[in-house]
Homo-oligomer: A and B are copies of this chain.
């Protein structure tokens, strides 16, 4: 049965980015209230079941079927997390609503989606509410979480990920046995584009923070996914190897704990990723519906249909299966357990 297990195509990086207007309106009212620009928004009943079915059916589920992937690890819109908005209560209520929406989708389509949560981080707050929400979500069935390395949205005012300030979170991730994707939210600087600049910058900055510190020596059970193919990291692997050597470290040692997704939207980029990082540390991901929602005129296919780039590599079957699903099952043990219960 080993073939069946590893043949699943698991997209580790999907976002629910097809929220209806009322969802966005609630958030706008909530932010306005938090920023002192409006009255407290009324209770929001959430998206109705019928509407959720309709939205997911014409978006994530349709694309999954059209592209031939089996399961998407789904989390709330990353740019919508908005950790820069003031106030812990707002952050917690927003994470609660966003995560519960994800969970409802995953319960509607348990063979198609598995949930990953956002965390109620804030610029000035502590990790207590973050740990509470992480725990609540994992108990409810979430298989991982997204961590914003920069709640300020581009000012980088938080302690480095290597700072002991984050230790309670790393300890919780080890204890709960869930991995973390390091994913920024929207840029607050008008000059810094969110998906075309801030995300890639954040991926690179976060990786360098991990390289400078000893998080994985203190927390060997932590598994980190750097999205968007690792930002600039694989392209500059020589630079990072050199910076590691200067620190009397080996960059390769980070690969015990650090993984990269395949959200790189052209063949040459995917080839570099696989050549430099190796298939053991790469998880298939497409980021859909994400940064680029158009077709590539050079290929006639969607830029974010990343399965095509993997297929074109002609990897040996074991490596292909690892990238497309096996590594995800290893990095997300709670997902593996879920799939095993489903007989997949």
Question: Which residues of A approach B to under 8 Å, CB–CB?
Answer: 154-161, 163, 189-193, 195-198, 200-201, 204-205, 207-209, 211-212, 228-229, 231-232, 234-243, 245-246, 264-266, 268-269, 271-272, 275-276, 291-294, 296-297, 303-304
Given contacts A155-B155, A303-B239, contact A276 B268 (CB under 8 A): yes
Q: Main secondary structure on chain A at its contact with chain B?
A: helix
Query: What are 5 A-B contacts defined by CB distance under 8 Å?
Result: A197-B207, A229-B236, A238-B266, A242-B292, A243-B292
Q: How far is the CB of A285 from chain B (nearest CB, A)?
A: 13
B193 engages A197 (CB within 8 Å): no
Given contacts A232-B231, A265-B242, A269-B237, contact A158 B296 (CB under 8 A): no
Nearest B residue to A239, CB-CB: B265
Nearest B residue to A266, CB-CB: B238
A235 engages B212 (CB within 8 Å): no
A237 engages B208 (CB within 8 Å): no
A197 engages B192 (CB within 8 Å): no
Q: Which residues of B contact A154 (CB under 8 A)?
A: 155-156
Q: Which residues of B contact A276 (CB under 8 A)?
A: 266, 268-269
Number of copies of this chain that the complex holds:
2
A246 engages B197 (CB within 8 Å): no
Q: Which residues of B contact A160 (CB under 8 A)?
A: 190-191
A236 engages B269 (CB within 8 Å): yes
Q: Which residues of B contact A200 (CB under 8 A)?
A: 201, 204, 231-232, 236
- Among B191, B208, B234, B265, the residue within 8 A (CB) of A205 is B191
A175–B50 CA distance with the chains assembled, in angstroms:
62
B236 engages A234 (CB within 8 Å): no
Q: Which residues of B contact A205 (CB under 8 A)?
A: 191-193, 197-198, 201
B243 engages A195 (CB within 8 Å): yes
Q: How far is the CB of A203 from chain B (nearest CB, A)?
A: 8
Q: How far is the CB of A113 from chain B (nearest CB, A)?
A: 24
A284–B19 CA distance with the chains assembled, in angstroms:
47
Nearest B residue to A191, CB-CB: B160
Q: Which residues of B contact A198 (CB under 8 A)?
A: 205
- Among B241, B242, B269, B297, the residue within 8 A (CB) of A272 is B269
Q: How far is the CB of A216 from chain B (nearest CB, A)?
A: 17
A207–B161 CA distance with the chains assembled, in angstroms:
27
Q: Which residues of B contact A272 (CB under 8 A)?
A: 235, 268-269, 271-272
Q: How far is the CB of A185 from chain B (nearest CB, A)?
A: 15
B209 engages A191 (CB within 8 Å): yes
Given contacts A156-B191, A191-B159, contact A240 B297 (CB under 8 A): no
Nearest B residue to A265, CB-CB: B238
Q: Which residues of B contact A242 (CB under 8 A)?
A: 265, 291-292, 294, 296, 303-304
